Amino acid sequence: MENYIDVNDAMGRLGNNKKLYAVLLKKFDGMAMLEDLKNKLESGDAAGSQAQAHTIKGLAANLALQDLRSKAESIELALKNAGATDGIDASEIAESTMATQEAVVNWLSENS
């Protein structure tokens, strides 16, 4: 779980308020965000894909979901550099999203 959720970072951001962190994590729907990114990539929407990757990166950073933040940043930069969706592989961010979602569920079950 440490690779996916940095609880110490989150607690620093939230003044050690675990209840607030739990509320925020309960609202996290990484799978829906991933699906939106995949749809934009498949349709060739480079600008929309880059914007969605940026959104995922920002949300993940705010929630201290470090691996997901890193993978979203990689996708965002690849799209920015390529200017197109051709050759952009979403498999790493998909794996990270699933693992992060599982880590969130586990953390919530242990802390709520």
The domains of the chain, with CATH numbers, are 7-111 (1.20.120)
pLDDT in tens, 7-65: 999 999 999 999 999 999 999 999 999 999 999 999 999 999 999 999 999 999 999 99
At 3 the pLDDT is 81
At 2 the pLDDT is 65
8 Å CB contact between 108 and 100: no
Residue 101 is which amino acid? Q
- For residue 1, what pLDDT band results from cuts at 50, 70 and 90? low
Contacting residues for 15 by C-beta, under 8 A, at least 6 apart: none
Which tokens in the block code for residue 109?
A: 């079950």
Contacting residues for 14 by C-beta, under 8 A, at least 6 apart: 20, 21
When pLDDT is averaged across residues 75-100 and rounded to a whole number, the result is 94
> Could you tell me the pTM of the whole model?
0.92
Report d(CA 7, CA 15) in Å as an integer.
12
Residue 41 is which amino acid? L
Asked whether residue 81 carries a pLDDT value surpassing 70, the answer given is yes
